[in-house]
Structure 1
């Protein structure tokens, strides 16, 4: 108690642990949200903030318990976000960036809950559902930044990595490609929500779809995916040929992208089985995490070269 469970004088590792927990909790929310959707439990609690009939407890039903369980996870996110925020605010020396990131993530949780409530009140309008998912991805990207910012020292570049000036052609091209990959990841993720809004997993059998043809929406999403694959290949080639400091981050992102692509094609060919849909949503969260980590690595490498 004398150290307030570590919050009185938090170490960098303590702050990092809370940042990781913050990121993990938000990724878990994506998984449980996917479970709500594929089981058709989106209106298991037909009102918000109540769960129906003026009560805050769920009806004794399969769908009601699943939706209520997903809602209760929000309170876990609140506790973790507050823990990360307190650790960032108490950490010394002051890290203003970490403080801002922890604050943004914490403020995003209630905003996300309100938009989630609006999805219920609009009977799972697919465009509102898409906004809800996009906000979750934004929180995950910010939480990844917080993890990157607070990671313990020791991940130094290997001896065979070239220290390029920030204004060199290769360094500028690499940073540009990292930004392209990050933006394409956002486009791909959003178009994935459009595909979901046109497909069978609406969250409830009576909810409306977005009116688009599933095959056309899927093709648009696939086009974005292959564009992202092409940009990633170019980034990988540059990173390894020039021995750039963030080549490991690019390799990890490529591995996540390949895995996500395989899951995507398999789920499409097997007519969207529930487990694969949930795994694909989990993969989207990992993809956003990887893209954010990759971009931050490229940006930091440029700043490091400026100081060397």
Structure 2
């Protein structure tokens, strides 16, 4: 099914409206930096360093300057500092976009969404600390807030990726200049992938709070009525991973032939490689009882897969009116020559 936006394309929606290379590079740089911040945040959780600054926020143990900090304090403080830089980067990106792009440019919407989600990210992080839902806290409230925090993180990463993506488009970056192809299927697939990530974050939280002695003990805990509910829901993560994987394979197969969209084919191949690597890391993570380094690697690849998936899904489902990406939407091999 193909639907078109009802808003007419403004006269400024031409290829000459494409933002500068500096802005495009900065946008993708902000995406990359946020991935590193997210992975470091997982290190805070996996090492039990969430209480490294006590129950103070944004100050660390009530101080601006650290005095003889321990390892946990350094880990937590580094995450807070890097998160603060991320907020400043998103503010700078949004300001730059609104100063240099036309009024109906899609990047404006996504950059504002990114800014709001960044502020919400800070709020959720602060609540985790102020409510004491960190370190070895095993309450149900921690799992709820942690799930909300991770959901917000994934949505933030998606909006940042879409901001950079629409800044990089040659056409189809203005409101009213695109049409939608199979948007419902793409939306369901993205939601399934998001749900997989959220359940994975809860599984990782369970691994941190209730470390197992060996693999068979871990499997037994998943089905024991005496185990924490966090352990008894761990099976949902791999189950959803296979459901989401079916959508990813559909998207990959749809774009592998290439045709007039060689850029989509390249992204599909990258997504296929990341999907295979992610499944491998997932199985290895279970077999080795979730060591910290492997949890971080698993999350890092998950973030790369999510970014690639969001961009490829949008390139496939939101296209310039009357165009194919290989001829007028993106730089193709022929255009580059």
The corresponding residue for 2:28 is 20
What CA distance in whole angstroms lies between the structure 2 residues aligned with 1:199 and 1:23?
28
Q: Residues 257-272 of structure 1 correspond to what in structure 2 (within 5 A)? A: 257-272=275-290
Aligned twin of 1:293 = 311
Change (3 A) 1:212 1:11: same
Long gaps (5+) in structure 1: 1-9, 155-165, 203-209
Matched residues in 1 for 2:27 and 2:258: separation? 32
Moved more, 98-107 or 33-42: 98-107
**For residues 133 and 92 of structure 1, what CA distance do their matches in structure 2 show?**
31
| 1:6 aligned residue | none
Matched position secondary structure for 1:199: helix
Q: For 2:322 and 2:293, how far apart are their aligned partners in 1? A: 43
Which string of whole-angstrom CA distances, capped at 9 and with x for unpartnered residues, describes residues 104-162 of structure 1? 212322221111011112222122122112111111000010111011649xxxxxxxx
Show the 5 A alignment for 1:1-308. Answer: 11-51=19-59, 53-58=61-66, 60-124=69-133, 125-151=142-168, 153=170, 172=182, 176-200=184-208, 211-214=228-231, 216-240=232-256, 243=259, 245=261, 246-301=264-319, 303-305=321-323
TM-superposed CA distance for 1:268, in Å, is 1.1
Return the alpha-carbon distance in structure 2 between the equivalents of residues 53 and 213 of structure 1: 30
Q: Relative to 1, partners in 2 of residues 1:240 and 1:102: Cα closer, same or farther, differing over 3 Å?
A: closer
Contact 1:102 1:146 in 2 (8 A): yes
- TM-score normalised to structure 2 length: 0.73
Cα RMSD, aligned residues only: 2.9
Structure 1 window deviating more from structure 2 (292-301 vs 265-274): it is: 292-301
Query: TM-score by structure 1 length?
Result: 0.79
Structure 1 residue 283 displacement after superposition: 1.9
Instruction: Provide the residue aligned with 1:159 in structure 2.
Output: none
CA contact (8 A) 1:48 1:121 kept: yes
1: CA distance, partners of 2:116 / 2:206: 31
**Is the CA contact 1:88–1:95 (under 8 Å) kept in the aligned structure 2?**
no
Aligned residues: 276
For residues 184 and 61 of structure 2, the distance between their equivalents in structure 1, rounded to whole angstroms, comes to 54
8 Å contact from structure 1 (residues 141, 292) kept in 2: yes
Question: Residue by residue, what CA displacement relative to the aligned partner does 1:215-260 show, whole Å, maximum 9, x if unpaired?
Answer: x423211111111222222333333358473343333222222211
What secondary structure sits across from 2:233 in the alignment? helix
CA contact (8 A) 1:198 1:213 kept: yes
Query: Relative to 1, partners in 2 of residues 1:106 and 1:198: Cα closer, same or farther, differing over 3 Å?
Result: same
Q: Distance in 2 between matches of 1:201 and 1:18?
A: 38
Matched residues in 1 for 2:258 and 2:109: separation?
Answer: 34
CA distance in 2, matches of 1:68, 1:289: 27
55-64 or 144-153: which moved more? 55-64
Shift of 1:201: 5.2
- Kindly indicate whether the alpha-carbon contact (under 8 Å) linking 2:202 and 2:230 is maintained by their aligned counterparts in 1: no
Contact preservation (8 Å) 1:37, 1:201: no
1:168-214 deviation line (CA, Å, top 9, x unaligned): xxx64xx5543333122111111112212322258xxxxxxx93152
